[in-house]
Amino acid sequence: MSNIIRLRPRRQREPRGVAALSVMFATQRRAQGDVFWLKENAEWLGILASMKGETLCDVLEPYEAFYQSIPTQLEFFPQYYRFFLSLCLDIEDLGMHGDQGEALCHWVAERDLPEAELSDLQRGEAMRLLKRRGVVTAQTALTDRLHRFMARPETFALPNQKAAYELAHIIFYLSDYGRRDPALADATLTSLHYAGLLAYLDQNSDLLAEICAALRFAGATPSPIWERLVQDAHAACHISGAAYAQAADGYHGYLVTGWLAQIAGNTAFLDVVPAGQVTISGNTGGQGPLRRLSASLFGLGVERSADWSRMRENLLPGLSLDDQIILEAAEQSTPCFEAFFEGFARASDGGAPLFK
């Protein structure tokens, strides 16, 4: 007989979405407990915990054994206490049955581990974690120092990625990732606009995503021009198989651009996750005209002016068409551009030269 019907096995659905991504971060990239594993998974679960109004219990299965091991690991690796507390509290807040987070917060507070931090930023993160279980109260002196740092816009009119990331993270901590009003000064909002302009001019969607998220947590609306860049960058990220774990890939850009897209009400984190070892690629680090623009300004020497309307005619012809388009979009993205340029230009104030 020649008319035999051959039944093909049903093709399995490819895993995708937040549950598949949790399996990926928990089991498919790094050895559990490795410091890079702690960092990646703390960032991923922190993003999930900030997604309001969603039931995400199905993301927790890969973390059940790790959750039970946290007290033992924290006791032996107290230098990583911020990672362990963040992971534990987010796992519980996402729906894991257990309440050891409060005891761990008391353990950390009793040993004064935040006092081992050299940075106010890290101390601010520690205080935010401990406050999540009511273990510490407001730290007025620390909060005041953080606000003074943020409310100095001239700091953020100059390329300094470390300062810009710290600005965004302070707002994440003070706002508890959008759960409360961080009570920012107007000058701090200006700082965010300046930092956002630099990130956009650099086409650094990783940093720009964090700046836009900070603006939203402050109750402000980021430029749609900025958020469009971030959304496009997330869509361009790709998860693929890999022969071995890479020391660094595009995971952070993928996470923060997807997070901002989700906060803004767009789709994110719907990617298919292949089996086995995986890597994440994406061009989120920046290839804009910022460096070339800064070099052109430096080359002008004493002819450099803080007046954007005057300098625009000098600078635009020296840029490529693509760079001109980005610069013109930056101008349109915020009413702060001319004020930003006054600081960015670093023009002479007419006094005596600093060095002779």
Q: Is the dihedral of CA 108, 89, 81, 263 positive or negative?
A: negative
Q: How many CB atoms lie within 10 A of CB 110?
A: 9
pLDDT tens sequence across 41-50? 999 999 999 9
pLDDT digit string, tens, across residues 228-272 = 999 999 999 999 998 877 778 999 999 999 999 999 999 999 999
pLDDT of 169-223, one tens digit each? 999 999 999 999 999 999 999 999 999 999 999 999 999 999 999 999 999 999 9
The pTM score is: 0.93
d(CA 347, CA 243): 51
Nearest to 200 by CA among 190, 211, 189: 211
Helix then strand then coil, in percent of the chain rounded to 5, is: 60, 5, 35
Burial class (CB in 10 A: 0-12, 13-18, 19+), 4: exposed
Kindly give, in sequence order, each residue whose CB lies less than 8 Å from that of residue 177, ignoring residues fewer than 6 positions away: 46, 49, 50, 217
